[in-house]
């Protein structure tokens, strides 16, 4: 391996096979046996075991065996659904693992932290989480937070080891796995990975992605507990009433257990877990990583998007467009090299000298490309100059300087670049000169260009001063860069506006640049904006008054983002906030939904965020809103279906006692229905596309309840309609067929087919989608499987006998079909009647 190019790809792969991945032993996850145990401990299956015991006590072994067969099928279905959700979360854990920027084959590439091997050359910058134990080869003002390892909160200064030092590296020459770069940059070689790193040796356990309990899950769990308690009481009363009125305690107990099974909405917690987990998985396929699952729940309620300009609204692909020197300007676009006047060369020359030679910042990379192109072959490129020191950008001074020594001069040359006002301040210009340059900056910024000032100084002393202000700088000129707006941004912002979502741009750029980009992006600004200085001058009450019609915030410092987020929240907005830097973490935490940039963002921002945009673009952010609305809308449809489907089951369990009929539904019948209800909830409705027009509706209220009055009313109306159809089928069939078994046969057929109609009626609630729906393959398979199973239950004598069915005649089958179609029409009519309320 050559130090300058790092490992080759083949060598890295060989070392990875030899040493294993760079990861610590993961916390124990639910294995197959544990997950299966969790399934069989659920109340529904405990009730089934009780029913099987009663069948054995009644001497009906065939019923008991059939019940156990169905139990096995339902357990398998539930197990598969849980495994599917677990697999989706495992995929998200892999995506959320730390990343590292390494040199492979001489090129910088970003790899998963797990893929690091001993010998890799790693590039570190402010905000990075150190992915392994690294020996420093180069370091510039590097400080590291090692509190995860030592408990000490004070950052530690690190230094590169000298080339002549052949002994073991000292602690101040090492960066340890799990520590955090708080300032500076560095390059180092990996010396230990995984359990052999400092973090691995002390046995620390890093938490992965966890499934938090969301407010909706808490609300659902509370409702399920209340319904279960009420159901248990009613079931006990039914069992006692049956036993007292008919003197049959075992059958009464069976009737009570059947009613308990009918009332218990055990699907709801499973539905919520699967919807949120698979929603996060679907977002990951759109290159949006969900680090905290509750964020999926709030996406649909977002009213305000606070976004950065660079890389989110723009492409983050800088190009130098214009140079300015003493009143003269030069446009670089589509110009031959020989037309650039010599007076403009120093602007590029000192801009290059003030940048890193191996730049990763898009702005510095653009300056380097322009310098190599326009200064090629001239005396203005200094590849043989030696870097003496540098002064990094700071919160107090938005400028950076690099100190160089040429081979033939004793004096040191200092090159600086930064925000024009910072460079003007460094040059100590008179007021008239300041005004003139500020006017030129405003002109360039008004064209949507990002403007940098460039300055130079000569320093003769050996000992460098502590701050940049101690150099005697002179202004060289201005350099303007362009970062074009992404092509899809105007349409995405228009979609947000139609959806009732405001977009606020928060940037550190010059006001004129920010306003120009805002107009190109499609924001309605009308010149209104607030600067960082304005924010400092406004108290909280005055700021609140300004927020309702201000969409552009410029020259904003990272710490001011937190105040803006808190102010927006105080006025009732549901805020999604983007960020990429170390200092953005508090604002990301304070927002309802923190969104980190996955490509250019720091590890600190990623860890503080709820979502990570792996593509760093605004379109992905709008996609998350779309998915959030889809998840919440489909959850409501699934819950309406669950509640409506349970109502006729409860009615059929109570009717025999109230009407003096024999038992209509047995536990086996309810298990059969579970084969429809469970996959319909967790597969069919979850796979439904977003309703047409959903992104033209205002956001839902953040305090909107999942189980509101409109949802319960629709469920009751649909469930009562299905119950009426089922009871009608039972009465008519029992009268014409002459037996309770004939009535049970038709009632069950109506119930099963009516459930399919109930699903179809609730797949869409939008008026514009009343016609043919988008293809939902899951629904097609459920319809096919249900019809086949129902045909087997009705047509095969041995199976029909277990269900206590009789072979239905053609008129009875026609009756069942007509009642099922009537149920579908009734449910669809209820959706149309109450449209807009659920």
Mean pLDDT of 757-777: 74
- Distance between CA 71 and CA 45 in Å, rounded? 7
Residue 772 scores a pLDDT above 60: no
Backbone dihedral region for residue 693 (phi beyond 0: left; psi -120 to 50: alpha; all else: beta): left
DSSP SS3 for 400: strand
**DSSP string over 242-253:** HHHHH--HHHHH
SS (H, E, C) 254-271: HHHHHHHHHHCCCHHHHH
Distance, CA of 678 to CA of 266 (rounded, Å): 9
Higher pLDDT, 721 or 57: 721
Q: What pLDDT is recorded for position 360?
A: 62
Least confident range of 37-46, 190-199, 529-538, 722-731: 37-46
Task: Check if 308 is active-site.
Answer: yes
The rounded mean pLDDT for the chain is 81
The CA–CA distances, whole Å, from 533 to 420, 512, 538, 779 equal 16, 15, 9, 58
Q: How many CA atoms lie within 13 A of 594 on its CB side?
A: 25
Q: Residue 372 to residues 140, 293, 320, 377, 696: CA-CA distances in angstroms?
A: 25, 47, 12, 9, 49
pLDDT category at 278 given cuts 50, 70, 90 is confident
For residues 294-298, give the mean pLDDT. Answer: 75
Q: pLDDT tens for residues 807-838?
A: 888 999 999 999 999 999 999 999 888 765 44
How far is residue 186's CA from residue 175's CA, in Å, rounded to a whole number?
10
Mean pLDDT of all residues in 728-733: 92
Output the pLDDT for position 767: 66
How high is the pLDDT of residue 194? 81
Q: What is the pLDDT of residue 211?
A: 40
Residue 25 DSSP one-character state: P
84 pLDDT higher than 70:
no
Rounded Cα–Cα distance for residues 351 and 366 (Å):
11
Question: Which residues are 597's β-sheet partners?
Answer: 613
pLDDT score, position 411 = 81
Residue 470 · residue 426 · CB < 8 Å: no
Mean pLDDT of 644-656: 84
Which of the residues 120, 128, 133, 308 is marked catalytic? 308
Sign of CA dihedral 597, 603, 605, 608: positive
Q: Is pLDDT at 617 greater than 80 in this prediction?
A: no
Query: What is the model's pLDDT at position 207?
Result: 39
Q: What is the pLDDT of residues 391-449, one digit of tens each?
A: 887 767 888 999 998 887 778 999 999 999 999 999 999 999 999 999 999 899 888 88
Whether pTM exceeds 0.75: no
- Region 22-38: what's the mean pLDDT? 61
Asked whether residue 542 carries a pLDDT value surpassing 50, the answer given is yes
Lowest mean pLDDT among 15-29, 54-68, 177-191, 594-608: 54-68
Check if the beta carbon of residue 286 is closer than 8 Å to that of residue 630: no
- Between 180 and 540, name the one with better pLDDT: 540
Q: What is the mean pLDDT of residues 593-607?
A: 71
Cα 713 to Cα 733: distance, rounded to the nearest angstrom? 30
Cα separation, 691 vs 300, in Å, equals 13
Q: What is the pLDDT of residue 209?
A: 37
State the Rg of the chain over Cα. Answer: 34
Lowest mean pLDDT among 133-137, 219-223, 699-703: 219-223
**556 — pLDDT class (breaks 50, 70, 90):** confident
Residue partners of 816: CB distance under 8 A and separation at least 6:
729, 746, 749, 750, 753, 808
Give the residue ranges of DSSP H helices in 163-286.
198-201, 215-246, 249-263, 267-285
pLDDT, tens only, 460-488: 877 889 889 999 999 999 999 988 888 88
**Number of Cβ atoms within 10 Å of the Cβ of 729:** 26
Query: Each residue of 319-354: pLDDT tens digit?
Result: 899 999 988 999 998 788 888 999 999 999 999 999
């Amino acid at each position: 391996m050559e130090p300058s190019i790092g490992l080759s790809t083949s060598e890295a792969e060989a070392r990875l096979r030899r040493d294993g991945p760079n990861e610590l032993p993961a916390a124990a996850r639910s294995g197959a046996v544990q997950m299966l145990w969790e399934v069989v401990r659920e109340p529904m299956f405990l009730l089934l075991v009780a029913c099987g015991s009663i069948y054995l006590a009644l001497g009906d072994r065939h019923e008991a065996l059939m019940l156990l067969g169905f139990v096995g099928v339902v357990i398998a279905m539930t197990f598969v659904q849980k495994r599917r959700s677990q697999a989706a979360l495992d995929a998200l854990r892999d995506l959320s693992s730390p990343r590292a920027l390494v040199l492979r084959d001489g090129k910088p590439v970003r790899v998963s932290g797990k893929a690091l091997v001993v010998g890799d050359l790693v590039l570190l910058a402010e905000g990075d989480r150190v992915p392994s134990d690294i020996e420093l080869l180069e370091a510039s003002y590097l400080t590291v937070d090692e509190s995860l390892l030592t408990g000490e909160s004070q950052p530690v200064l690190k230094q590169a080891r000298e080339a002549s030092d052949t002994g073991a590296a000292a602690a101040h020459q090492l960066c340890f796995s799990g520590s955090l770069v708080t300032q500076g940059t560095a390059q180092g070689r990996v010396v230990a990975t995984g359990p052999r790193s400092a973090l691995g040796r002390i046995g620390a356990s890093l938490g992965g992605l966890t499934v938090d309990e969301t407010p909706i899950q808490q609300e659902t769990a509370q409702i399920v507990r209340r319904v279960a308690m009420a159901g248990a009481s009613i079931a006990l009363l039914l069992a006692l009433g049956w036993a007292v009125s008919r003197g049959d305690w075992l059958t009464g107990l069976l009737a009570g257990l059947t009613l308990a099974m009918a009332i218990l909405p055990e699907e709801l917690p499973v539905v919520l877990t699967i919807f949120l987990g698979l929603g996060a998985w679907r977002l990951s396929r759109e290159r949006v990583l969900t680090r905290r699952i509750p964020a999926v729940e709030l996406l649909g309620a977002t009213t305000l998007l606070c976004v950065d300009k660079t890389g989110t609204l723009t492409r983050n692909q800088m190009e130098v467009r214009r140079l300015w020197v003493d009143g003269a300007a030069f446009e670089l676009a589509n110009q031959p090299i020989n037309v650039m006047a010599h007076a403009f060369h120093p602007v590029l020359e000192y801009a290059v000298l003030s940048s890193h030679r191996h730049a990763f910042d898009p702005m510095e990379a653009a300056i380097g490309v322009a310098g190599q192109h326009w200064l090629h072959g001239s005396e203005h490129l200094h590849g043989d100059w030696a870097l003496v020191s540098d002064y990094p950008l700071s919160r107090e001074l938005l400028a950076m300087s690099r100190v160089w020594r040429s081979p033939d001069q004793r004096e040191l040359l200092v090159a600086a670049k930064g925000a024009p006002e910072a460079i003007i301040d460094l040059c100590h210009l008179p007021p008239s000169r300041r005004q003139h340059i500020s006017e030129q900056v405003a002109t360039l910024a008004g064209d949507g260009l990002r403007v940098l000032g460039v300055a130079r100084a000569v320093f003769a002393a050996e000992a460098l001063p502590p701050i940049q202000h101690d150099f005697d700088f002179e202004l060289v000129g201005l350099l303007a860069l362009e970062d074009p707006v992404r092509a899809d941004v105007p349409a995405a912002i228009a979609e947000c506006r139609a959806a009732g979502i405001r977009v606020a741009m928060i940037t550190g750029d010059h006001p004129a640049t920010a306003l120009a980009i805002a107009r190109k992006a499609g924001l309605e600004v009308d010149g209104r904006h607030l600067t960082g200085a304005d924010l400092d001058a406004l108290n909280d009450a005055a700021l609140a008054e300004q927020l309702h019609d201000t969409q552009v915030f410029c020259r904003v410092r990272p710490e001011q983002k937190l105040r803006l987020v808190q102010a927006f929240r105080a006025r009732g907005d549901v805020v999604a906030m983007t960020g990429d830097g170390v200092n953005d973490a508090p604002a990301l935490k304070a927002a309802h939904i923190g969104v980190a940039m996955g490509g250019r963002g720091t590890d600190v921002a990623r860890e503080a965020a709820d979502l990570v945009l792996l593509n760093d673009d605004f379109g992905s952010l709008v996609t998350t809103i779309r998915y959030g609305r889809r998840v919440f809308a489909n959850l409501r449809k699934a819950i309406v279906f669950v509640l409506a489907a349970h109502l006729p089951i409860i009615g059929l369990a109570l009717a025999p006692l109230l009407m003096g009929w024999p038992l209509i539904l047995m536990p086996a019948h309810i298990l059969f229905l579970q084969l429809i209800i469970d996959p319909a909830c967790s597969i069919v409705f979850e796979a439904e596309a977003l309703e047409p027009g959903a992104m033209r509706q205002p956001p839902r209220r953040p305090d909107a309840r999942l189980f509101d009055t409109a949802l319960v009313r629709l469920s009751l109306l649909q469930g009562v309609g299905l119950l009426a159809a089922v009871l009608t089928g039972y009465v008519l069939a029992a009268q014409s067929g002459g037996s309770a078994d004939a009535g049970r046969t038709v009632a069950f057929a109506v119930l099963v087919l009516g459930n399919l109609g109930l699903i179809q009626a609730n797949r869409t609630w939008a008026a514009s989608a009343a016609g043919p729906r988008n293809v939902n393959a899951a629904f097609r398979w459920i319809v096919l499987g249900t019809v086949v199973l129902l045909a087997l239950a009705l047509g095969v004598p041995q199976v029909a006998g277990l269900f206590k069915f009789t072979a239905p005649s053609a008129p009875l089958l026609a009756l069942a079909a007509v009642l099922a179609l009537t149920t579908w029409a009734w449910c669809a009519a209820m959706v149309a009647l109450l449209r807009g309320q659920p």
